[in-house]
A and B are shown apart, each in its own frame.
Chain A
Amino acid sequence: MDKAFIQRRRRDLIVAACLALLATQVPRYVTDVYIQNMMIMTLMYAALSQSWNILSGYCGQISLGHALYFGLGAYVTAILYTKFGMLPWFGMCAGGLLSAVIAMALGYPCFRLGGHYFVIATIVIAEIALVLFQNWEWAGAALGITIPLSKQDSWLTLQFAKDKLPYFYFALALACVAWFVTWWLEDSKWGYWWRAVKDNPVAAESLGVVVFNSKMGAAAVSAFLVAVGGGFYAMYVTYIDPESVMGFQFSLLMALPAVLGGIGTLWGPMLGAVILIPLTELTRSYIGGSGRGVDLIVYGGLIIAISLARPQGLVSLFSRKRKPAAQPVREAVAS
């Protein structure tokens, strides 16, 4: 094993630990509820984007239907809590497992599709789920589910009416877990398989990588983490309806931080979320309040500018001095 590589991984871990420790101290100085909400959203999207990155970035299977897993996580958690009185912790795990199973069930036919056919299939499947949930009376149909507030705050039921801080720590933990899972997988057998599958599936297959299984693995891990994020979101906003947790915009909002920061990189989604989410929130509240779409203009312009100017993502700005990473084999298979 390359010594520099081990060093880099160790340094990544230390930097992440320091950042997480720093983050736990932030709420001491930031007491504004609006800003706290923004930080929670940033951390949540960082976690989601990191999870999305596992399937789409590392394994190269671009999914624009991850809202499905997000929504499933939110719905399973909310339904188990409101209808069966089960703790949200259990609901999140159940939602995660269900999503992982569904991801594999859907992956079975979908992973045979190539390129754009796959992307469109993911969009279409999420849209079907959205319409079904909108018409499913038992699950609240288009009206959604309201999670009743309990009288006292508790970590057991994840309900904190008085302040947002516990949610902040939960979101932080979520982001840390997603980051750590990515870090850990990056140097595992799976991580290498995924990158091989992304760069050149035919070559990977010929060298003994079971392409199909590695895609399934990536889908399952990715869906599980996203669904846990969905469960957290449901408990945080205490009200969900199909459009607000399964809409196409969620699939996009999960993908964009990773695209902005750098697809298939460890730090990309984090960096992207830290820049993108506050920016979105700020434009929305300061100039977008008129409902006239200025926030959309800023947002759209930003996406175009970034994807044209920095296709590798912003992370590449930091790593310029380092030894260039292995060139993707993409050019070779561009035919």
Chain B
Amino acid sequence: MGLLYGLIAVGLALIFGLMDVVNFAHGEFLMIAMYATFFLFAFFALDPLLAAPLVAAALFIFGAVVYLLIVRFAVRAKANTGMVQIFSTFGLAVLMRGVAQYFFTPDYRSIPHSYLGGKTISIAGIYLPQPQLVGALIAIAAFAGLYFFIHRTDFGRALEATREDAGAVALVGIDKNKVFALGWGLGAALVGLAGAVMAIFFYVFPDVGASFATIAYVTVALGGFGSVFGAFAGGIVVGLVEAMTTLILPPSLKTVGIYGVYLLIVFIRPRGLFGSI
């Protein structure tokens, strides 16, 4: 579960690191990814695992469009820039939730039978649910891919360079907007991947994003905003803390443990575990 949290969070971390913007609609990105997976299954009987790349691709386009239509203008605002970012992405979240309720109704839906759904695997006597396990593997693969992508490709370097100094990057002929749009697309694609896997074992409903989004912010902040590796580590910490608190405390207090650890860590290290600046 922790690795999946990490996967949800890493898209957020990527966007934040790139342009200092917290996407408050991140949970809603997850929500539409889950719906997309659900409908691909319902109409084309496509297994979520096969749907995952398609969903990720669709989310990539969606993320880029969101950047071009909304965020591009939000960061350009003259006054109250920080506020404008928070509230424009937040407005987007509310809007998306409303649209989802309108078209998909507030019903809870789930994918009744998929290739992995409900199966468990036993490793040395410990039973693990297969969807979560595969999700974890996909998450690790995605992280490895992302790492490779950022450090070994031209676009990844452009991304890093833009993060360092957007002005200088413009001088050497890289279109800042293009890089940002691609960054948003990439961030959204990652959460799309997470959504496709989650749809196997979690209910889909219009508000599903909200609970995961708060955990994603905590995960990112734990690792340090902007640090991709931090998001990965943060995800593991959150997953472990969640598992531990359910052992000690009643399940209803599960989130308290996660939030408590967040507060503890930022009070000791105000920039998160792996935050640089």
Interface residues of A (CB under 8 A from B): 62, 109, 112-117, 119-121, 123-125, 127-128, 131-132, 134-135, 248, 252, 255-256, 259, 263, 291-305, 307-308, 311-312, 328, 330
Contact = CB atoms under 8 A, between A and B. Distances in A.
B128 interface: no
B99 A297 contact: yes
Interface string B91-102: 111111111111
B105 interface: yes
A120 B92 CA distance: 18
B91 A312 contact: no
A124 B93 CA distance: 18
Nearest to B267: A109
B153 interface: no
A292 B101 contact: yes
Contact of B263 (A125, A135, A292): A125
Contacts of A255: 87
A255 B93 CA distance: 16
Given A121-B262, A131-B252, A259-B83, 6 more contacts: A114-B270, A120-B221, A125-B259, A293-B102, A293-B206, A297-B98
Contact of B95 (A112, A297, A330): A297
Indicate the member of A62, A131, A297, A299 with the most B CB atoms within 10 Å. Answer: A297
A212 to B, nearest CB: 14
Contacts of B252: 131, 134-135
A92 B104 CA distance: 43
Contacts of B90: 252, 303
B114 interface: no
A293 B100 contact: yes
B58 interface: no
B118 interface: no
A195 to B, nearest CB: 13
A248 to B, nearest CB: 8
Interface hub of B87, B106, B221, B266 (most chain A Cβ within 10 A): B87
A132 B254 CA distance: 11
Contact of A304 (B70, B101, B210, B214): B70
A291 B270 contact: no
B218 A124 contact: yes
Contacts of B170: none
B102 A292 contact: yes
A301 B90 CA distance: 10
Contacts of A301: 91, 95
Contacts of B98: 293-300
A62 B83 contact: yes
Contacts of B73: 308
22 contacts: A119-B22, A120-B217, A124-B218, A124-B259, A127-B214, A132-B253, A252-B90, A259-B87, A291-B106, A296-B97, A297-B102, A299-B91, A300-B92, A300-B94, A300-B97, A303-B94, A303-B95, A305-B91, A307-B91, A308-B70, A308-B84, A311-B84
A116 B22 contact: yes
B138 to A, nearest CB: 27
A263 B91 contact: no
Contact of B91 (A124, A295, A304, A311): A304
Interface in B247-277: 250, 252-253, 255-256, 259-260, 262-263, 266-267, 270-272
B74 A120 contact: no
A318 to B, nearest CB: 15
10 smallest A-B Cβ distances: which pairs?
A296-B98, A300-B95, A293-B101, A303-B91, A300-B94, A297-B98, A304-B91, A293-B98, A311-B77, A124-B259
A307 B256 contact: no
Contacts of A304: 70, 88, 91-92, 95
Contacts of A311: 77-81, 83-84
B259 A127 contact: yes
Contacts of A293: 97-102, 106, 206
A121 B261 CA distance: 11
A168 B6 CA distance: 49
A91 B214 CA distance: 32
A292 B100 CA distance: 9
B91 A300 contact: yes
Contacts of B266: 113, 117, 121
Nearest to B87: A307
A121 to B, nearest CB: 6
Contacts of B267: 109, 112
A128 B259 contact: yes
Contact of A307 (B74, B206, B225, B259): B74
A263 B255 contact: no
B20 to A, nearest CB: 9
Contacts of A303: 87-88, 90-91, 94-95
